[in-house]
Amino acid sequence: MNRFVSGAVVSLATVALLLLPSLASAWSPAGSAPVHPGVQTHTQGAQCTSNFVFQEGSTVYLGQAAHCSGTGEATETDGCTSASLPVGTAVEVSGASKPGTLAYNSWLSMQASGESDPDTCAYNDFALVRLDPADVGRVNPSVPGYGGPTGVGTIGDLGSIVFSYGNSELRLGIAKLSPKQGTVIQNEGNGWSHVVATVTPGVPGDSGSGFINEDGQAFGVLSTLQLAPLTGTNGVGDLGKGLAYARAHGFPNLQLVSGTQPFNPSLVGAILGA
C-alpha cells in the first residue's frame, strides 16, 4: 500500500499508522462497547474467547487462537499438520451486528509456507477475525476490568504476575468469574510458549483469550490446558512471535490496538468492575 506525503510516495505501513488516530477516535466507550477483548467467538460451533483488538489500515480485527477453527480432534495441536477451516469462514462475534470473517490462521500459513521449525509448528496458535465495517463503531480495545493493553511485551522473569480474562460458556455468563491472575512457571519452545498457573485455570471455551503482564502489555494467547508440569496450568502462546509471523505472511502492517482505559493490575478491582 502507498500514500503521498509532501509529494513523496511512501509505504503502506505509514498509511496504516496515519489511519490509527482517526479510527481510534471512533472507538465506542469502554463501559458500553459491545465488542471488546474477551467477547466470545463461534467458528462453526466452536466457542472461543477473543484476545485483543488489532488493526491494519482501516481494517479492524479481533484475535483468537488458530485452533478455534481447527477441524480435527482436541489433541491435534501441531499447526503444521492439523487441519483448519479455510480463510473466509464466517465467525460469529458476540456483540457484533454481523458475522466476522476468518482473515488469518497461523496453521494455514505455516502449512502453505512449508514451515518446518518444530517449536513454531507446535506453539504458533494465532488467528485474526476481520470485523465487518458496520461493527467498527461498536468496538473498544480495552480489556474488561483490567484496562490496557498498553502495547506488546514479554513475560519477564519466571514467577512474574500475569492477568487474563476468559469467557467460556462453562461459566454460564457470570462475568465476575472471567478475570484471572496467575504466575509464569515455565517457558518452552525457545520462547514460543509460556506455562502459566492462574486462579481459576483456563478451561475449554477460554481458548484464545489474551494474557497481559505486570505492566499491562499483551504477551500471550491461551492455547492449551496443560497436564504437566502442573495439572490445571495453561500453555500460552507468545503473542510477539505470533504477530511477527503474521506480519511476515500477509499482514505486514498489523498492529495491536492499545486500550483506551488505563491498566489496573488488581484482580479484586477487575472482579468488582466486571
All cell numbers assigned to 35: 465488542
Helix (H) or strand (E) holding 243: helix 239-248
Please check whether residue 40 is in contact with residue 94, taking contact to mean a CB–CB distance below 8 angstroms: yes
Q: What is the mean pLDDT of the chain?
A: 86
Which has more confidence, 265 or 9? Answer: 265
- pLDDT band with cut points at 50, 70 and 90 for residue 21: very low
Q: Whole-prediction pTM value?
A: 0.88
Is residue 54 predicted with pLDDT exceeding 60?
yes
State the Cα–Cα distance between residues 60 and 78, nearest whole angstrom. Answer: 28
pLDDT at 228 exceeding the cut of 60: no
- Residue 8's pLDDT is 33
Give the closest residue to 48 by CA, choosing from 23, 72, 70.
70
Q: How far is the CA of 20 from the CAs of 104, 122, 133, 255, in angstroms? A: 21, 33, 15, 9
List domains and CATH numbers for the chain: 161-240+267-273 (2.40.10.10)
pLDDT of 3 above 50: no
- Distances, alpha carbon 196 to alpha carbons 68, 79, 172, in Å: 20, 21, 24
Residue 269's pLDDT is what?
A: 73
Give me 153's grid cell: 511485551
Please report, rounded to a whole number, the percentage of residues in the chain having pLDDT higher than 70.
Answer: 84
